Structure 1
Amino acid sequence: MMPKMLTVTFLGTAGSLPTPERNPSAVLINREGELILFDCGEGTQRQMMRAKTGMMNLDYIFITHLHADHILGIPGLLETMAFQGRREPVTIAGPARTAEVVELFDRLCYYSRRLQVRVLELEAGDVVRMEGYEVKAVRTSHSVPSLGYCLREDPRPGRFLRDRAVALGITPGPLFGRLQRGERVEVEGRIVMPEEVMGPARPGRKVVYTGDTRPVPEIEEASREADLLIHDGSLSDGMADWAIETMHSTAGEAADLAKRAGARMLVLTHISSRYSDDVSTLLFDARRRYPEVLVAEDLMKIDLKLRDR
C-alpha cells in the first residue's frame, strides 16, 4: 500500500516586502490530492504554476489576518481558477472582517468568473472539519486581529496483530477485515473484540502555521509534538525590540517555542527583506536553541510521512 501523501509547499516566504527571491506569504498543503491554502499574497496563482501544484482541487483558503501581503492574491487566484474551468465553490476562512474584504474584492473587480465563494469568519478555537482531518483556528498576537491554524489528521487504527488473531482461532479472510474496521466477530461461540487484535492507535500528522505573530502560549500548545511548525521568524535575535514593536517573532523565540512544544521540525518564514541575501544569522539564532530548523525558501517542498507513535 502506498503511503498517504502530505506535502507542504512554500509558495511565498517574504516578510512585509517581497524581494526578487521571495513572494508574499502563502503556504499550500496537498493532502492526498486535496489542496488547502494558508494565506494568499499577491502572485500566489503564479507561484502555484511554478511549483506545479495544480489549483483545481483547492477548496479552502485560510487567511491568518487581513494585511495586504497576506490577501492580495485572492482575486487573481479565483479568476485564474475560473478561467481554467473551476465551477465548484471555494471557501475563504479567516478572522473578523474576512467577509467584508471578500465583498470589497467583488465590488472593486470586474470579474469574468462564475465561481461561488463562501466565507467563514472564525474565532480562536473554531474547527473546520474535513474528511479525515480538521483545521483549528488558534489565537495569535499581531497588530491586527489574527489567527494561526493547526491542521491535524484523525488518529489511525493500530496495526493488525495477525499472529494474535490466529492464536484466538480466527481464520485469515473476511473476519480479519471486519476486526480491522472496528467490528467484533464471533468465533466458536466466543466474541473477539477489535482491541484484542489491534495495536495502539497511531497518530495522524499535525502541521501548525502561525502567520504573523509574537510567540504565544496558544501556539505552543497547538504545536505539541507537531510534525511541522511553520512559525513567524521575521527577525534575528539582535532585533528583538523591533520584533516586539511590530509584533513579529525572532528566529530564537520561534526556536524556543518549538523546543518547548516538542515539535519535530521548525520552518521559519515571513523573512524580512533585510536578510534577502543571507539568512545565516536567522539559522544561527534558531539552531543554537533547537537543531531541527530550516529557513523557508520559495517553492521549497516538505513531504511529511506517517509515523507509528
Structure 2
Amino acid sequence: MPFFCCDRKRCFRRGSKMKITILGSGTCVPRLERACSALLVEAEGVNILIDCGLGTIHRLLEAGKDPSDIDLLFLTHFHPDHTGELVSLLFSGKYAGKYGRKKSLTLVAGKGLSDFYQGLCGIYGEWVDLSGLLRIKELSLPGDSLWDFNGLKLSFAPACHRPESLAIGVESCGRKMVFTGDTDVCPNLVSFAKGAELFICEAAMPDDMKVPGHLTPSLAGAMAEEAGVRHLVLTHFYPECDEVDMVATAGKTFHGPVTMAEDLMVMDLSSV
C-alpha cells in the first residue's frame, strides 16, 4: 500500500484529533476491572482495534462502539489473551442480523496469520467466514513496515516476545501513537517510537518480579526516555502490579508524564 503524505490543509479542515480508548489493560489472569489486551484507535473516520482478548466485545460496547464498526483489527501476536474474542467477533459479524457486519474487516498480523485463521476455520468452518467481508493481511517485514489504510499511516516493527510479535504505530496529520504489544527490552522499538506523542507500553510485572518476554515499569520508562516520547502509558498488568507504585517506578527512568492504564480510559492525542 502507498505511503501516506499528510495534507496539512485537510488536517486543518477536519481536525487532527486521534481518540484512543484502552479497552483492556490486563493479562491472562481473569479480572473484572481489567479485561485482556485491547485498544481502540479512532481517527480520520477509521476505527482500528488493536488486539482482541477476553472482554473486548463488551468493553467496545461500553465505549459506544459495536464490533461491526471496526474497520481494521490488528493482532500484536497470537497468545489467547490477545486473540481470545476474535472468533466471537467474526461469528457475531456474520450472524447478528441487522446488528451484523455490513462493511469489510481487514485482519492484520505478522507471520503465521493465514495459518492461524485457517486453523480457526478448521474448527469453526463457515461460522467465522464473513462471506467476502473479511480481508486477511499477513505482514512481511520490512516490506510491509509502512502502509496506508484509508488515510492513516500505519507502521509496524518487530517486538521481542514471540516470532510473530509486532508493535504498531498509528499516525494522523503528523501525530503518532505507538503500542508495543507484549515485549521484552527491545532496542529496535526505541528507534520505532522516536518522536511519538503517545507511547503505550506493556509493563507486566513490578521491577523485582521481571519475567522473560515482558517489561517492568523502570524498563518501560528507560525505553520511553531513550525514544524521546512525549507521554508514557503503562499497560498489560498482572495483579502483582497493584502492590507497587508503577507510575513512580517508571518516573525514575522517564522524565515525562506517566499514566497507568485503566479499562475505558480515553486519551485525545491532540492534548496528551
> Residues 256 and 289 of structure 1 are in contact (CA less than 8 Å); yes or no, is this contact kept in structure 2?
yes
Q: State the alpha-carbon separation in 2 of the partners of residues 101 and 217 from structure 1.
A: 28
Is residue 224 of structure 2 the alignment partner of residue 258 of structure 1? Answer: yes
1:70-125, Cα deviation, whole Å (9 max, x unpaired): 11111111233342132322111111111112122223226285463211111343
Cα deviation for residue 237 of structure 1 reads 1.2
> Residues 87 and 114 of structure 1 are in contact (CA less than 8 Å); yes or no, is this contact kept in structure 2?
no
Q: Which residue of 2 aligns with 1:116?
A: 133
Cα deviation for residue 251 of structure 1 reads 0.6
Q: State the alpha-carbon separation in 2 of the partners of residues 77 and 97 from structure 1.
A: 20
**What TM-score, normalized to structure 2?**
0.85
Q: State the alpha-carbon separation in 2 of the partners of residues 12 and 249 from structure 1.
A: 17
Q: Which residue of 1 aligns with 2:268?
A: 303
1:151-171, Cα deviation, whole Å (9 max, x unpaired): 1235xxxxxxxxxxxxxxxxx
Q: Which residue of 2 aligns with 1:97?
A: 112
Q: Which residue of 1 aligns with 2:4?
A: none
> Residues 231 and 268 of structure 1 are in contact (CA less than 8 Å); yes or no, is this contact kept in structure 2?
yes
Change (3 A) 1:30 1:54: farther
Q: Gapped runs of 5+ residues in structure 1?
A: 155-203
Cα deviation for residue 2 of structure 1 reads 6.2
Number of residue-to-residue matches in the alignment: 252
**What TM-score, normalized to structure 1?**
0.76
Deviates more, 1:115-124 or 1:204-213: 115-124
Within 5 Å, give how 1:37-76 maps onto structure 2. Answer: 37-76=49-88
Q: Which residue of 1 aligns with 2:43?
A: 31
Q: Which residue of 1 aligns with 2:189?
A: 219
> Residues 258 and 266 of structure 1 are in contact (CA less than 8 Å); yes or no, is this contact kept in structure 2?
yes
Q: State the alpha-carbon separation in 2 of the partners of residues 81 and 220 from structure 1.
A: 37
> Residues 206 and 244 of structure 2 are in contact (CA less than 8 Å); yes or no, is this contact kept in structure 1?
no
Is residue 240 of structure 2 the alignment partner of residue 271 of structure 1? Answer: no
Cα deviation for residue 222 of structure 1 reads 1.3
Cα deviation for residue 306 of structure 1 reads 7.4
Q: State the alpha-carbon separation in 1 of the partners of residues 240 and 249 from structure 2.
A: 16
> 2:206 corresponds to which letter in structure 1?
S
Is the partner of 2:68 in helix, strand or coil? coil
Q: CA RMSD in A?
A: 2.1
Within 5 Å, give how 1:237-256 maps onto structure 2. Answer: 237-240=207-210, 242=211, 246-256=212-222
> 1:89 corresponds to which letter in structure 2?
S
